[in-house]
């Protein structure tokens, strides 16, 4: 069974601090190019940013952080860059998992891992097993992931598991087979680097997510930039199909219903 319900099926309770933040880490290559460095230098610097944002999420009480590290379309990049990205992924797993574990971070990797080398797949399996019982923050890395792939693989698995319901499946049937069935839908989606699209990321899960696009390149995205994104989120009116007037009667006030307290130093008018 899925742990969390769909925002198209129920009205979720909302809070001033997003429970789940998802991000596309865009701009590593451009950051490096501006400094006359190879693109891999930007990706390496991007790993440092991941460390900072994980730390910031822990400090702010964010429960889920999902990062788009490598899309199913990124195989189209130059082979040398893809190879370096895979090496960087291996290095990060070797160096970071123990630190994540000590800080109570659960690591999950979603995507079609079958195309990765055995060493990388083994490290992923070890990291997920080692951190499986941690609960302070669930850090999900989407690698060789695509939103369409996710929906299709879920449908294929559902059709095998419940062929008797063919033609009558519903969202509750599909939900347990989605890659991120263990997490609530993202409250806040961030894309750095100046692009304003979701690039086949979490197509199912982003149905009612609030979007924040920023020109800041990922290697320059820090805790202050995260706070700006959260401040933008807090100004949103999350209606989930309702009218503004109905929000006034909601027994679970949304983030835009007058909540004025400061959370982790983020003011709604910042």
- Report the distance separating Cα 31 and Cα 201, nearest Å: 22
Written as six digits, the tokens of 29 are 């290559």
Q: What angle do CA 257, 198, 112 make, to 5 degrees?
A: 120
Name the residues annotated as catalytic. Answer: 26, 74
CA distance 166 to 196: 37
Q: Based on the number of CB atoms within 10 Å of its own CB, is 130 exposed (0-12), middle (13-18) or buried (19 or more)?
A: middle
Q: Collapsing DSSP states into helix, strand and coil, what is residue 15?
A: coil
Residue identified by tokens 């609960």 is 135
Polymer length of the chain: 270
């Amino acid at each position: 069974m899925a742990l969390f319900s769909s925002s198209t099926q129920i009205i979720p309770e909302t809070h001033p601090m997003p429970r789940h933040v998802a991000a596309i880490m865009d701009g590593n290559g451009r950051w490096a190019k501006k400094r006359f460095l190879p693109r891999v230098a930007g990706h390496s610097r991007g790993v440092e940013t991941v460390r900072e944002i994980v730390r910031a999420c822990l400090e702010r009480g964010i429960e889920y952080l999902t990062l788009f590290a490598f899309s199913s379309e990124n195989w189209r990049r130059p082979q040398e860059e893809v190879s370096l990205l895979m090496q960087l992924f291996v290095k990060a797993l070797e160096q970071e998992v123990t630190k994540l574990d000590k800080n109570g971070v659960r690591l999950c990797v979603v995507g079609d891992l079958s195309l990765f080398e055995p060493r990388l797949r083994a490290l992923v399996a070890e990291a997920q097993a080692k951190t499986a019982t941690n609960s302070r923050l669930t850090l999900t890395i989407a690698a060789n992931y695509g939103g369409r792939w996710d929906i299709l693989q879920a449908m294929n698995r559902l059709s095998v598991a419940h062929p008797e319901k063919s033609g009558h499946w519903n969202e509750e049937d599909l939900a347990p087979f989605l890659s991120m069935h263990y997490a609530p839908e993202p409250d806040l989606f961030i894309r750095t680097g100046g692009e304003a699209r979701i690039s086949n990321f979490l197509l199912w899960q982003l149905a009612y997510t609030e979007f924040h696009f920023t020109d800041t390149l990922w290697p320059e995205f820090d805790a202050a930039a995260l706070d700006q994104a959260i401040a933008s989120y807090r100004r949103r009116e999350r209606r989930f199909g309702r009218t503004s007037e109905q929000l006034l009667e909601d027994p679970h006030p949304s983030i835009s219903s007058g909540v004025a307290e400061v959370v982790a130093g983020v003011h709604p008018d910042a």
